[in-house]
Amino acid sequence: MKILSSEITPEKIYKNRRKFIKQLGLTSSVFYLAPGLLNSTHASNNLTDYNYVTSYNNYYEFGTGKSDPAQYSKDFISNPWSITIDGEVEKKIILSMDDIKKLFPSEERIYRLRCVEGWSMVIPWMGFSLNKLLKKVNPTSKAKYVKFESVLDPEQMRGQRYPILDWPYKEGLRIDEAMHPLTIMVTGLYGKELPNQNGSPIRLMVPWKYGFKSAKAIVKISFVEKMPTSSWMKASPREYGFYSNVNPNVDHPRWSQATERVIGEGIMSPRIPTLMFNGYEEEVAHLYKDMDLKKYY
């Protein structure tokens, strides 16, 4: 079922957005409301205000506070940029951001980002399915996982001067998860270029997993044989597993994951129930058939 985002977006934002999109020459974008959102309550379907999306962030390369990324990424230069796809592939490739924009036009995808900390936002991302990019290389028969690496640039990223995480930021997916059409590479939001604090110029977004799987400022994607150890798994293996699927039935060791706070709804608003796979059960549950999701958290 397809619903125009104009039906759930405050009029003014929507009009502005259409204007931006026109300016970017993206009028052919596909607008649709992700199916997971249809199951949740009305208030939680509203798009999160642009100001919250760009001022309440997690991006430890720029600091651990929620307002650090907006404050300290202002001068971050992400142009020129390229992504290397290597590892267990017949021939590695390097694509510039210009190549990527030409080869893979972005379309709008409205996805909820559910953070492992217990809050969520509904964001109109601009992006394209990661599988289009991955299909540019031929993986060898050894390839089983896909590893993602964010940029390493301590000169521009003050957080990387401290050993807060295992830099560069690393994440991983199983190949079938990476190839799923819902998994996207994001190049913008609200019809605009991706702001620095949200992972400019390109980031991952896996809507059925906790937000930390969606690595920002990606420079390398590698096909690998062994399950990659992500920066969060390395920091705290008891708390962060490889799969990290949104799952209201499996608590984080220190708090429940049953509900979430919708950012921008006001502190008096009740928390809303968290949905299995963030609302994408129908689309992705088959990937985990016969797996004990308490064990593979």
Binding site for ligand MTE (CB under 6 A): 57-61, 113, 115, 150, 169, 198, 211-212, 214-217
SS3 of the chain: helix, strand, coil, percent, to 5: 25, 25, 50
Closest distance to ligand MTE from the beta carbon of 276 (Å): 19
Tell me the closest approach of the beta carbon of residue 168 to ligand MTE, in angstroms.
Answer: 8
**Beta-strand runs (E) in the chain:** 82-87, 93-96, 107-114, 119-129, 145-150, 170-174, 184-189, 192-193, 203-205, 218-224, 259-262, 272-273
In the three-class reduction of DSSP (H, G, I as helix; E, B as strand; rest coil), residue 208 is classed as coil
Q: Which residue is nearest to ligand MTE (CB)?
A: 211
**CA separation for the pair 241, 74 (Å, rounded):** 32
Nearer to ligand MTE, 6 or 84 (CB): 84
Q: How far is the CB of 281 from ligand MTE (least distance, A)?
A: 21
Instruction: Please identify, using beta-carbon distances, which residue of 216 and 220 lies nearer to ligand MTE.
Output: 216
- How many CB atoms neighbour CB 265 within 10 A? 17
Question: Least distance from C-beta 161 to ligand MTE, angstroms?
Answer: 15
- State in angstroms the smallest separation of the CB of 190 from ligand MTE: 12
Cβ atoms of 228 and 241 closer than 8 Å:
no
Residue 212's nearest CA partner among 179, 253, 165 is: 165
Q: Given the complex with ligand MTE, which of 122 and 139 has the nearer CB atom?
A: 122
Both structure tokens of 18: 């259409």
Q: Which two tokens stand for residue 215?
A: 């690595």
Q: Identify the burial level of 290 via C-beta atoms within 10 angstroms of its C-beta, where 0-12 means exposed, 13-18 middle and 19 or more buried.
A: exposed
Q: Closer to ligand MTE at the Cβ: 73 or 129?
A: 73
Give the amino acid at 275: L
Q: Toward ligand MTE, which CB reaches closer, 21 or 157?
A: 157
- Residue 55's φ and ψ, nearest 5 degrees, are -130, -10
Q: How far is the CB of 121 from ligand MTE (least distance, A)?
A: 6
Comparing CB distances to ligand MTE, the nearer of 95 and 217 is 217
Q: At its nearest, how many Å lie between ligand MTE and the CB of residue 133?
A: 18
Using the minimum distance from each CB to ligand MTE, give the nearer residue, 139 or 244. 244
**Would you call 107 helix, strand, or coil by DSSP?**
strand
